[in-house]
Structures are given as C-alpha cells and as structure tokens.
Structure 1
Amino acid sequence: MKTNIQEQKNDHQPLGISGLGGWLILVQIGLYLTIILLVLQLFQNSLPVFTTDTWEVLTSIKSQYYHPLWGPVLIFESIYNVLFLFFSIYILINFYGKKSILPRLMIIFYSVSLAIGVIDYLLVLQIPLARELEDGSSLRGIVRSVITCAIWIPYFIKSERVHNTFTR
C-alpha cells in the first residue's frame, strides 16, 4: 500500500478527488458573473460619470448637490472596479492553469471584496444625497459578501478537491 501511494505521488497524480468540477463549478460561474457585472458597472455607471454633466453637478462647489467626498468616492469606485476586473481575469487564468496560488487568490478576492464593500458603504453614508438614495442594496451586498466569505474562504482552505487540483 505504501508503494502505491508513493507511485501516485511520483506520477504527480493527486490522491482523492481533484479537477475543476464539484463546487468549483460555482466558483467559475461566480468569476464569470463578476467580470460581466464589473464591465457593465464600468460602462453603464462609472465611466459615464466622468464624461457627463453629472461630474460637474456632484463635484462643483457651486452645485446644490456638491459634497467634497463625491469626487474621491467616484474615483475610488472606478479604480477599484477596473483593478478588480483585471484581478478577476488574472484569477481565471490561474484557475484554468490549476496554479497552486489560486486558493490564496480566491481568499484575497473574497476578503478584499468584503472590505471594499464596507469602506465604500461607509464613505457613501457620509454624503447626504447618497445616504438619501441608499435603498438598502449596499447593505444587502455587504451581507452577501459576509456570507460568501463564510462559505468560500473555509472551502478554499479545507477542501480536498482544491488541495488536489491547484498544484502547479
């Protein structure tokens, strides 16, 4: 029995379950949805703010909707969305390459997503108009992120499939 295990290790065949199946299918779907949603967010919301009168209305001291945090918050959200889009693509490349760094990347992905969601929410609450327009969707997003972290971070730490699949 001992030689059989050693042979499997020498052949670089993982013991137990491995591969991009099982619960990892949900991770793949989530990554693709994240990329799609970030692209939509960027092109429908973030980038148009910088090229329309909206920027002037929100960031001009002369405007009744002005608040000093509007500019930094909008820039912060846009930069975050662009960086997270590229990070998501980088994760997918490592995912299909079955790279050993993938579990750490996913833990960073979920943790940073939660942290940025909380930071963004707290910043937006400082702006009276944004606070008035908040319909609870940001708070629901944070709760979803907490639940996501509570499920997927332990999965990427403890899963036999993850451990056996991401070995390169």
Structure 2
Amino acid sequence: MNEEKKLEGISGWLILIAIGIVLTPFRIIILCVTTYSDVFSTEVWEALTTPGAEMYHFLWAPIIIGEILINSGLLLAWLYMAYLFFTKNRDFPKCYISIAIFSLLFIIADAFAIKLVLPNESVFDPDTIKELTRSLVMVIIWVPYMLVSKRVKATFIKK
C-alpha cells in the first residue's frame, strides 16, 4: 500500500476539522438566535434605531442588519464547506482557508464598527475576545495544516 493511499481519508487531524465543520453551523445558529432574538422581540430595536431615542445611533441598523446578513452567509458557506469536506472535493482546502480568514477579519471589523457606536466601551469585550481567539486559533493552526498536510493533499482530490 503506497503512502498516499494510506493517508487518504478522513482520519488523523481531519477528524477535528470534521467535528468543527459539523458543529459550526449549529454554533452560528445558536449565536444568532441568542443575540438577535432579544433585539427583535423587545423594544431594543426601536431604542437603537429610532432617531431621538436615548440609545439611537445611525449606525446601529446597518451594523445589526450587516451582522445578520454576514452570519447567514457564513452559515451557508459552512454548510457548503461541509458538502465539500464529506465529498472530499479538491476545492475544500481553499474554501476552508477563505472562510477562516474572512471570519477572523469579520470579527475584527465588527468590533471596530461597534466601537464607532459605543466609543466609551472596549473594542474587545469578553464575548468578542472569545470569538476572536477561536477564529485566530483556527487561522494559525488549521490554515497551515490545509496548505502543507499530506493527508489533505491525498484526501481532497475529487472534482
């Protein structure tokens, strides 16, 4: 049995990637539901987006809507990435790298956008630090793995 055949398949470190790919869509859904259900089920949306209200800022609506749209796009991207992963499609590593880097940049950009609205608050609150750390670890560890792993090169070969 040659080395490439031995390395082909979803095993080794790819099992951790598989777990992340399966869990991430659920994590995004839970994050969105817990974050935005309060915004839209109470008077929070009106307080943030009604001119003259105490908490009003003209950027709240675009930030919240942008977050919802981007998180919805990320959810779809992760579902597509799961398809690529489990079909062992050769586009999977590029897709994974792109989404990992985009997610990191989105968290940073979103934190600074919120800072524009809440200038007296810290740029990185505990929840943002947690998400940033998770995303940074993903980029630091898994992006290089996607680029250099012999198992990745042997597994993701289908068109």
How many residue pairs align between the two structures? Answer: 158
How far 1:130 moved relative to its partner? 8.3
Q: Name the % identity.
A: 29
TM-score normalised by L of structure 2: 0.88
Superposed CA RMSD: 2.3
TM-score normalised by L of structure 1: 0.84
Q: What's the counterpart of residue 35 of structure 1?
A: 25
- Say if 1:99 and 1:167, in contact at 8 Å, map to a contact too: yes
How far 1:17 moved relative to its partner? 0.9
Give the direction of change, closer, same or farther, for the CA distance of 1:149–1:134 in structure 2 (3 Å limit): closer
Instruction: Return the match for 1:61 from 51, 57, 71.
Output: 51
Give the direction of change, closer, same or farther, for the CA distance of 1:109–1:130 in structure 2 (3 Å limit): farther
- Say if 2:114 and 2:123, in contact at 8 Å, map to a contact too: no
Q: Which has the larger radius of gyration?
A: 1
Give the direction of change, closer, same or farther, for the CA distance of 1:135–1:119 in structure 2 (3 Å limit): closer
Instruction: Return the match for 2:85 from 86, 95, 111.
Output: 95
Q: Does residue 1:74 correspond to 2:61, yes or no?
A: no
- Say if 1:46 and 1:77, in contact at 8 Å, map to a contact too: no
Q: Does residue 1:141 correspond to 2:131, yes or no?
A: yes
Unaligned segments of structure 1, at least 5 residues: 6-12
Return the letter of the residue paired with 2:80.
Y
Distance between the aligned counterparts of 2:16 and 2:50, measured in 1?
44
Q: What's the counterpart of residue 141 of structure 2?
A: 151
Give the direction of change, closer, same or farther, for the CA distance of 1:134–1:155 in structure 2 (3 Å limit): closer
Range with bigger deviation, 123-132 or 84-93: 123-132
Unaligned segments of structure 2, at least 5 residues: none
